[in-house]
Structure 1
Amino acid sequence: MTPSLLALLLAQTSPVAAQTVTGEAALQPSLPAEALITVTAPALPGRVLTPVVGLSGGALLDRQPRSVGDALRGLPGVSVRTNSRGETIARVRGSDERQTLVFLDGAPLAVPWDGRVDIGLLPAGLIGGLSVRKGAGAIEYGANAVAGVLDLTTRASGGVGVAQAGPYGMTNLSAAGVLPLGGVSLTLAAAHQAQSALPVAQLAALPFNQPDPDRRLNTDLAATSLFGGLGGTAGSLIWRVSLLTIDARRGIAPESDRSPAQARFWRTPEWSLTQAQIALELPLGTATARAVLWRQWFGQQIEAYRDASYTMLRAREFNDDDTLGGRFTLSHGLGPATLRWSLSGQTSDHRQTDIAIAPNTLPSTQAAALLYRQTLASGGVEADVPLGGTRLTLGLGLDRATTPRTGDKPAQPSRQAATFSVALALQPAERLSLTLSGGRRNRFASARELFGEAQGRFLANPALLPERAWLADAELGWRTKGFTLTLTPFWQRVDGSIGQRIISVNGNNLRQRFNQAAATSIGLDAALQVPLAAGLTLELTGSALDTSSAGQPLLQRPAHEAMLALDWARRGAFDFRAEMRRIGPARDLAPDGRQARLAPATEINLRARIPVLRLGKLPISATAAIDNLTNAVILPQQGLPQPGRSLRIGLIVGG
């Protein structure tokens, strides 16, 4: 079993990994030097960080995910679902998906207009490892990193190729490798995902808008990704430049819980994201300066149809986004303490063109684009203070948001809010660790939340205020002879949490975002690993969550999620993995605006990887993966069940 990224981080933060760890792996002190500049908030000596879980490239191969969204399933405190726009999003500890930022090699990937990125279109084959930081994260993450951060890192060494196929045209192809070229290192990666449809688990769970008993209507996908990175040193300067581009088209499953007159029938024939980055790290005597600059271009076309035939257009929406941003940090000593100064900011332009199409007419090309602009800035300082046998990290900062361009909507005032945090690490006994952390973080409404109308489905609310989250957790870890246990109780309170309500306008039920009463979440994350025999490990991870606002449960938040896994790996011989995931009950809104119950469900997944031959030093393994073995009906959202059983077989080269 390949060690997880978490095992490497735990040498400095916590005693428990999210994947089986060998004794040798647990002793590795840090990441390679060339990877340090890609870590958003590196685990430096004396620094106390909030709880983290993660997976390395080897662990990703064992779990055989197609996308980053697939890879996150089963990690404690992380919930993954596909929303009504067809986007795969992650929630940490029941928080809103926009409260969880996604970073790639230190730069944010979220499209600022919407405040999120579709992690179902980020192929797992491009990723060398991932980690999820929970709670009041480091000051480097900047504004809007409220309850969690997903840090993705590209491959730092070696190479691997994956080819898998399955029914309904399912294709998963990826290749990534690092080539040393004299004094520089070249990273290249490519991936392609495709499917003609997703399988149906149970037709009875799709009472509307599902004519075929087996293939989920309008769930085709084709996505191609390319990545290139070049890094090296110039004297004492460490540098890296990289470019990621993703082009996709897909269908979006219609809501199955409402009649054709109420459902929406959408497709996304064009979806493209390109991001260029520069990362620098420079020692300055006893200080260290780090900088990350990014430029992101995003484009999207959404087509709305009149019915499930997808032949008659009702409207078109064109989105065009251009974002420029950067982050600078400076670390230096001050007596026994270490200070880290951080300044980050980005500005994003969003141009949107909405075209309404009357019945039996051709689409018009004469429509004016509306321009929106939002600027985010954040600055602050953290201090690492040694206190005898304990360590203390304190943080203080200020976040600010402005919207100088608002299309045809009313002007918005500038918003700002202070942020602070404290984290204390103790070691009560030799194999026991305790980390206490807490603080306040802010999230400003995205421009889409402020101004977006989503082709007539949403009603804009110009009075929307920013969210302010108070967070606290206590991570208790114990490790001995391969046995690991982590228990992390947590508490969160979000003032002005942005929710949705139904408002009737001229007989039409529209959804509007508004600031809810304070929302409180209390829960427990847990992770247990037990070696049962040589190469055989039992893993138990999960979360329990109770979350409510004004006495009502928050929507689409399962009361618990847990995964029991058996991993049997004989190095060089085979790797078998069986997972049983339990998703607890939740609540959601029915089409009439009343609350509906989402039933609990159990999902079983199987994985196998068996070496078949070697080409010189290059191993080739056969793979098989079965998702949702029992065809369970899993409802993360009303009317949008997860796919039914699917089988993938293929080959892995290298790894």
Structure 2
Amino acid sequence: MPRGRVFPGPSLLAAGLLAACPASAQTVEAAMPLALPDEAFITVTAPVLPGRVATPLVGLKAEALLDRQPRSIGDALRGLPGVAIRTNSRGETSPRVRGGEERQTLVFLDGAPLAVPWDGRIDLGLIPAGIIGSLSVRKGAGAIEYGANAVAGAVDLQSRRSGAVAQAQAGPFGMANLSGAAALSLGDLDVTLGVAHQAQDALVVARTSALPFSQPPGRRRFNTDLSATSLFGAVGGRAGGLTWRASLLHIDARRGIAPESDRDPAVNAPRYWRYPDWQLTQAQAALELPVGGATARVVAWRQWFGQAILAYRDASYTSLRAREDNDDDTAGARLTLTHAAGPATLRWSLSHSQADHLQTDTQFPAGVPGPVLRYRQTLSSGGVEADVPLGARTGLTLGLGLDRSSNPITGDKPAQPARQAATFSAALKTRLSDTLVLSLSGGRRNRFASARELFGEALGRFAPNPELAPEQVWLADAELVWRTTRLTLTVNPFWTRATGSIGQRLLVVDGRTLRQRFNQGPATSFGLDAALQLPLAAGITLEMTGSALHAEADGQPLPQRPFHEAMLAIDWAPGEAFDARIEARHIGPARDLGPDGRLARLPPATEFNLRTRLPLTRIAGARLSLIGAIDNIGNAVTFTQLGLPLPGRTWRIGLRLGG
């Protein structure tokens, strides 16, 4: 545990809560496993209310999450149109929506932001899928409730609200996946409990020749061990007109980080890092309450985060170069008030958060801890949306707001001025026929640099740049949904233009090559997302999703943005319990920034995955099933970043009770 780190007990967590997200949010429609845009899909953070026009949405319901057997939320998001998942050189699994940067997509759990504000990201590879009842990804100029920094999109995670399921799986090199979650009714209270554990001694190497440096012979990917245990609890209920829910998530993990094995250590050494301690505790609570003729929704959260990073001198992982200890404490709240104003509906939203970051750096061989540096960042957003009916088949939603960021405490770095920027959006939806719906949306959103981008040095890898200005992104979407009794087809062309987007450049400082973040020239992206679901025969469903993307700045392609991604899946469920799913996922070519600062090519790749579920018997009324999964059957070498290929062929087999 990082030095001086103390996590509060349950009584202090309860005292730190103010309110929670409504337990009355509707669940995902059960007709189809893939949640395509639908009025019935109600998300927690920004619910789709009558008359509200929202931007494009994709997601997964509880049934689809079980069938795909993901270990983490990062696994669950793979294959959704317009959503790319990659693991960076810090070992973090992050979403990229339609070519946006990692920090331009916010992640919410039961209505509260889950990212660690210091870094502006959360590692989705450590968020267990077993406690989640459904998830969705909102793309484009999203709702006002998402606040500042939700530029490219927002991932909404909703904890389990019904049923119970437990499963245990094992795989190669010590891989284990254990999880259990149950939603119970105890009188007037609804209670959810969940526990999960994932572990591995090493990931599987697809081809050792693809890893020329910092990788010993054999199928075990060097320094990729993992152990993560998660606990989750929630309670909610109703009291008169009040609906309330409070929840708590705790994750305790330790892991190794694969070195970038395209780099010659004699020329440009990769990171040789380990995380001996990674802990996140987040409490959130919310309420929904009628107030006169209006409805008030309040969400509050408190997050405690701590990690230790060990940096080694070489691939032996025996000689320490440096240690970094981080402790973060974040509190925030959001108030939304909805009321009628003649034929229109107005929705006012105000959010504020404050995050403190303590950091201690220790250099070796001296081993003497440096000073404790404190940083603070505050984020505030406020605005209003208006839902305006334009006849029986058409609706319009307009939004206007203001975002503000300040860094009142900056460690040993220069003081920073507060920054603010306006945000606005418009969304129009019209039903062209009984089966065809057209939506148009657009607007501008802002992202302020995280404190780590402004001040962080990443154990000597980065030169800080406190002069970073906020990113401003213009977004435009068109979405056409054709839904019949047999099929659902969604086509979504989009366009974005970012000014002041934060990129990386190489600097030579005192003979050392360092990276530095800077506001680069305007970047433009455009492309197309599409999804199709079609029943082929009784019990057989075809799913097709895909994205095409062109993203460039200053005439050069933006790094780590595949030109296209696609998934073809056939799901066979002839009976109530048996299910088999085969997937083909293709990632097109891309570019990445090499250690010399030049763009290098990432080749295309196609992987095949298999999921099965076979019923065995019933225990106390619950179904016991044999479950199995094989990822990357063909052992394809897939690069989403130079030197960090995805794992090779990996299998898992186990049992599931319930679900």
TM-score by length of 2: 0.94
Counterpart of 1:263 (choices 256, 270, 279) is 270
Residue aligning to 1:19 = 34
Residue aligning to 2:19 = none
Amino acid corresponding to residue 368 of structure 1 in structure 2:
P
* Mapping for residues 509-524 of structure 1, pairs under 5 Å: 509-524=513-528
Residue 477 (str. 1) matches residue 481 (str. 2): yes
Partner Cα separation in structure 2 for residue 7 and residue 347 of structure 1: 31
Partner Cα separation in structure 1 for residue 510 and residue 615 of structure 2: 64
Residue aligning to 1:387 = 390
Shift of 1:224: 0.3
Structure 2 gap ranges (5+):
1-24
Question: Alpha carbons of 1:105 and 1:58: their partners in 2 closer, same or farther (altered >3 Å)?
Answer: same
Amino acid corresponding to residue 303 of structure 1 in structure 2:
L
Partner Cα separation in structure 2 for residue 616 and residue 231 of structure 1: 27
Structure 1 gap ranges (5+):
1-5
SS of corresponding position for 2:442: strand
Counterpart of 1:101 (choices 100, 103, 106) is 106
Counterpart of 1:46 (choices 18, 42, 51) is 51
Please tell me whether the aligned partners of residues 33 and 63 of structure 2 are also in contact (alpha carbons under 8 angstroms): no
Partner Cα separation in structure 2 for residue 479 and residue 294 of structure 1: 38
Residue 434 (str. 1) matches residue 434 (str. 2): no
Residue aligning to 1:630 = 634
* Mapping for residues 102-121 of structure 1, pairs under 5 Å: 102-121=107-126
Counterpart of 1:286 (choices 273, 293, 296) is 293
Residue aligning to 2:228 = 223
Partner Cα separation in structure 1 for residue 340 and residue 580 of structure 2: 48
Partner Cα separation in structure 1 for residue 29 and residue 458 of structure 2: 43
Q: Deviations over 1:143-173 (max 9, x none)?
A: 0000100000000111111110001000000
Residue aligning to 1:456 = 460
Shift of 1:20: 8.1
Residue aligning to 1:579 = 583
Q: Deviations over 1:623-651 (max 9, x none)?
A: 11000111100000000000100000011
Q: Deviations over 1:494-527 (max 9, x none)?
A: 1000000111112211110000100000000000
Residue aligning to 2:71 = 66
Residue aligning to 2:607 = 603
Partner Cα separation in structure 2 for residue 640 and residue 401 of structure 1: 34
SS of corresponding position for 1:459: coil
Amino acid corresponding to residue 66 of structure 2 in structure 1:
L
Counterpart of 1:87 (choices 92, 99, 104) is 92
SS of corresponding position for 1:74: coil
Amino acid corresponding to residue 242 of structure 2 in structure 1:
L
TM-score by length of 1: 0.95
Counterpart of 1:76 (choices 50, 72, 81) is 81
Please tell me whether the aligned partners of residues 20 and 537 of structure 1 are also in contact (alpha carbons under 8 angstroms): no
Residue aligning to 1:204 = 209
How many pairs align? Answer: 632
Residue 356 (str. 1) matches residue 356 (str. 2): no
SS of corresponding position for 2:432: strand
Partner Cα separation in structure 2 for residue 295 and residue 178 of structure 1: 23
Residue aligning to 1:564 = 568
SS of corresponding position for 1:347: strand
Counterpart of 1:313 (choices 312, 315, 320) is 320
Partner Cα separation in structure 1 for residue 145 and residue 206 of structure 2: 43
SS of corresponding position for 1:125: helix
* Mapping for residues 390-405 of structure 1, pairs under 5 Å: 390-405=394-409
Please tell me whether the aligned partners of residues 9 and 43 of structure 1 are also in contact (alpha carbons under 8 angstroms): no
Partner Cα separation in structure 1 for residue 35 and residue 372 of structure 2: 52
Partner Cα separation in structure 1 for residue 71 and residue 620 of structure 2: 28
SS of corresponding position for 2:544: strand
Counterpart of 1:369 (choices 372, 376, 399) is 372
Percent identity over the alignment? 68
Please tell me whether the aligned partners of residues 105 and 153 of structure 2 are also in contact (alpha carbons under 8 angstroms): yes
Residue aligning to 2:450 = 446
Partner Cα separation in structure 1 for residue 40 and residue 493 of structure 2: 27
Please tell me whether the aligned partners of residues 67 and 120 of structure 1 are also in contact (alpha carbons under 8 angstroms): yes
SS of corresponding position for 2:647: coil
Partner Cα separation in structure 2 for residue 352 and residue 474 of structure 1: 45
Please tell me whether the aligned partners of residues 34 and 60 of structure 2 are also in contact (alpha carbons under 8 angstroms): yes
Deviates most, 176-185 or 192-201 = 176-185
Shift of 1:8: 6.1
Q: Deviations over 1:98-125 (max 9, x none)?
A: 0000000000000000001000000100
Shift of 1:30: 4.4
Partner Cα separation in structure 2 for residue 188 and residue 587 of structure 1: 43
Partner Cα separation in structure 1 for residue 165 and residue 336 of structure 2: 33
Counterpart of 2:246 (choices 232, 241, 245) is 241
Partner Cα separation in structure 2 for residue 601 and residue 412 of structure 1: 44
* Mapping for residues 148-227 of structure 1, pairs under 5 Å: 148-227=153-232
Q: Deviations over 1:577-632 (max 9, x none)?
A: 00000000000111111110000000110000111111132001111100011110
Q: Deviations over 1:82-103 (max 9, x none)?
A: 0000000000000001000000
Counterpart of 1:329 (choices 316, 330, 336) is 336
Shift of 1:573: 4.0
Shift of 1:74: 0.3
Shift of 1:552: 0.5
Partner Cα separation in structure 1 for residue 183 and residue 72 of structure 2: 21
Shift of 1:254: 0.4
Residue aligning to 1:3 = none
Please tell me whether the aligned partners of residues 170 and 194 of structure 1 are also in contact (alpha carbons under 8 angstroms): yes
SS of corresponding position for 1:167: coil
SS of corresponding position for 2:286: strand
Residue aligning to 2:307 = 300
Shift of 1:530: 1.4
Question: Alpha carbons of 1:62 and 1:420: their partners in 2 closer, same or farther (altered >3 Å)?
Answer: same
Amino acid corresponding to residue 330 of structure 1 in structure 2:
L
Partner Cα separation in structure 2 for residue 20 and residue 112 of structure 1: 29
Partner Cα separation in structure 2 for residue 196 and residue 287 of structure 1: 54
SS of corresponding position for 1:405: strand
Residue 590 (str. 1) matches residue 583 (str. 2): no
Please tell me whether the aligned partners of residues 17 and 484 of structure 1 are also in contact (alpha carbons under 8 angstroms): no
Please tell me whether the aligned partners of residues 384 and 400 of structure 2 are also in contact (alpha carbons under 8 angstroms): yes
Shift of 1:9: 6.0
Partner Cα separation in structure 2 for residue 505 and residue 294 of structure 1: 41
Partner Cα separation in structure 1 for residue 292 and residue 464 of structure 2: 52
Shift of 1:304: 0.3
Amino acid corresponding to residue 205 of structure 2 in structure 1:
V
Partner Cα separation in structure 2 for residue 453 and residue 573 of structure 1: 52
Residue aligning to 2:412 = 408
Residue 340 (str. 1) matches residue 355 (str. 2): no
Q: Deviations over 1:269-298 (max 9, x none)?
A: 000000011111001232110000100000
Please tell me whether the aligned partners of residues 351 and 372 of structure 1 are also in contact (alpha carbons under 8 angstroms): yes
SS of corresponding position for 1:456: coil
